[in-house]
Amino acid sequence: MHALLIIAHGSRRAESNEEIKALTAQVAMRANKHFDLVDCAFLELAAPLIPDGVNSLVERGATSIVVVPYFLAKGAHVRDDIPEAVALAQAAHPDITITVSNYFGAADIVPDALTELAIAAAHP
């Protein structure tokens, strides 16, 4: 079973974490031909944390997991913290294939999306 795990930073504000869960549900609908399981986890400040998110997917039958860092910049979280957490999860589940995608801010579509948002704001 193929799984997708969206990793967000996590916030002390419950609303921000709920935003991520709502986004995850939207992605799940769009990606259901490619992923049997779609969930989110947080680097810090909110549950589930990355190890718990991976464990939960494995318990539900995931055999491969694509991890997508939902971050805009290649800061320490993207460069160090997420790969480290994923490496630990991989060591705990050696039979599962875990792949980390590029972070969201590097996606080719981001300049288009930002342009679209700006133009919409200029012509309300």
Active centre residues (catalytic): 9
Report, in Å, the least distance between residue 102 CB and its own copies: 7
Tell me how long the chain is.
Answer: 124
- Cα angle: 53, vertex 75, 71; to 5 degrees: 50
Distances (CA, A) of 58 to 3, 62, 92, 97, 100: 9, 5, 11, 11, 16
Contact 2, 34 (CB under 8 A): yes
Site for its own copies in 59-88 (CB under 8 A): 64, 66, 68, 70-75
Rounded Cα distance between 89 and 28, Å, is: 22
Q: Does 20 bind its own copies (CB under 8 A)?
A: yes
Q: Which among 18-26, 48-56, 88-96 is the span making contact with its own copies, rule CB under 8 A?
A: 18-26
Rounded Cα distance between 32 and 50, Å, is: 22
Q: Which amino acid is at 107?
A: A
Q: Does 40 bind its own copies (CB under 8 A)?
A: no
Report, in Å, the least distance between residue 124 CB and its own copies: 8
Report, in Å, the least distance between residue 55 CB and its own copies: 20
Q: Which residues bind its own copies (CB under 8 A)?
A: 2, 4, 6, 8-9, 11, 13, 15-16, 19-20, 23, 26-27, 30-31, 34-35, 64, 66, 68, 70-75, 99-102, 104-105, 107, 109-124
